[in-house]
């Protein structure tokens, strides 16, 4: 049994990723209970603050995806409540959650990331979409990848292989956010590297290779069993796998993250990894990548989550 009195798992929220968050929360609650931890799972509604004030948990595990779960807002509230939690602090979350900002930070410490441009919706309205889009294709080339500057689960994201596809991709992107990140699409092997810090510094778990059955790792491919094949560890040479691990740990450190993160990479045909984005609240569902990486490392997920909570409790608010 754990020495933790009781812990709170936050799941749900009001972002587009609510259903995924609920699934992550259920999974974390189940593995913690199996690890001997007393768990309460709560949504983020008007009853949360009074409940926490009346019965403060020893620590909180945040499984909220998108929006307030990853942009630092809910963590700021937890700090106002003097409640310790697993994961990065509000400032680091704000930087990591904004993909263009995260790319700028990791590029500043020497990491490779695809060339890109970030533009708000108003730019296309004010300057004329056709002219701006034509210049993007001319400057970055094809193929491209378009995604909201903030958000996750591949919502609003799409690959663009011809100039004619770009306008529709922009419309799809702007359905989920007001700013688009358009980057050069690197062809290669999709890899996710989870990083955990159990007290001795950040360590990369084995990389997980992602092979979607339709070639695109979209929302359905991420969360529908059987739509994607995963290899944990990834089918990479030891040298490339080590380069991916070092990139993920460097990104985790440069962005000021804490406890846990997941970095998404693409490895090109020459074996060079490129940083795509980082997730401060990695998915914990049955088809999520961090649990696969933990299993590949021989780690028990419940024990890992319990240690992270114990570490947060010892650290304090």
Residues 196-202: contacts with CB under 8 Å, at least 24 apart: 196/259, 196/260, 196/304, 196/308, 197/258, 197/259, 197/260, 198/304, 198/307, 198/308, 198/311, 199/307, 199/311, 202/249, 202/252, 202/253, 202/257
The catalytic residue positions are: 17, 153, 223, 262, 264, 277, 279, 283
- Mean pLDDT of the chain, nearest integer: 93
pLDDT in tens, 103-161: 999 999 999 999 999 999 999 888 888 999 999 999 999 999 999 999 776 788 999 99
Structure pTM?
0.93
CA-CA distance, 316 to 310, in Å (whole number)? 10
- What tokens does 164 get? 């004619």
Listed in sequence order, the residues at least 6 apart from 162 whose beta carbon sits closer than 8 Å to its beta carbon are 142
Listed in sequence order, the residues at least 6 apart from 270 whose beta carbon sits closer than 8 Å to its beta carbon are none
CA-CA distance, 242 to 256, in Å (whole number)? 21
pLDDT in tens, 176-204: 999 999 999 999 999 999 999 999 999 99
Q: What is the pLDDT of residue 257?
A: 98
More confident residue, 71 or 155: 71
Residue 33 in this model has a pLDDT that exceeds 90: yes
Give me the mean pLDDT over the 276-288 stretch.
93
């Amino acid at each position: 049994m754990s020495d933790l009195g009781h812990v709170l798992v936050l799941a749900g929220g009001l972002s587009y990723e609510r259903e995924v968050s609920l699934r992550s929360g259920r999974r974390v609650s189940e593995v913690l209970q199996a690890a001997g931890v007393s768990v309460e799972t709560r949504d983020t509604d008007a009853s949360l603050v009074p409940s926490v004030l009346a019965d403060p948990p020893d620590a909180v595990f945040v499984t909220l995806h998108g929006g307030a779960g990853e942009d630092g807002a809910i963590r700021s509230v937890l700090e106002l409540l003097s409640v310790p939690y697993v994961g990065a602090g509000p400032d680091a979350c704000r930087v990591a959650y904004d993909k263009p900002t995260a790319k700028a930070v990791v590029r500043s410490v020497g990491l490779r990331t695809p060339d890109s441009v970030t533009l708000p919706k108003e730019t296309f309205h004010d300057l004329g979409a056709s002219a701006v889009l034509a210049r993007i294709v001319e400057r970055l080339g094809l193929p491209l990848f378009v995604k909201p500057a903030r958000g996750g689960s591949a919502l609003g994201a799409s690959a663009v292989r011809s100039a004619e596809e770009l306008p529709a991709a922009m419309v799809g992107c702007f359905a989920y956010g007001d700013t688009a990140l358009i980057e050069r699409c690197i062809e290669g092997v999709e890899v996710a590297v989870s990083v955990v810090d159990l007290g001795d510094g950040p360590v990369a778990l084995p990389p997980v290779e992602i092979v979607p059955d339709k070639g695109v790792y979209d929302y359905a491919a991420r969360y529908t069993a059987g739509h994607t094949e995963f290899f944990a560890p990834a089918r990479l040479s030891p040298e490339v796998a080590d380069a991916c691990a070092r990139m993920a740990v460097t990104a985790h450190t440069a962005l000021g993250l804490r406890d846990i993160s997941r970095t998404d990479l693409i490895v090109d045909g020459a074996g060079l990894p490129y940083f795509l984005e980082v997730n401060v609240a990695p998915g914990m569902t049955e088809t999520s990548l961090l649990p696969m990486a933990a299993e590949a490392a021989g780690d028990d997920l419940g024990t890992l989550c319990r240690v992270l909570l114990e570490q947060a409790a010892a650290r304090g608010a």
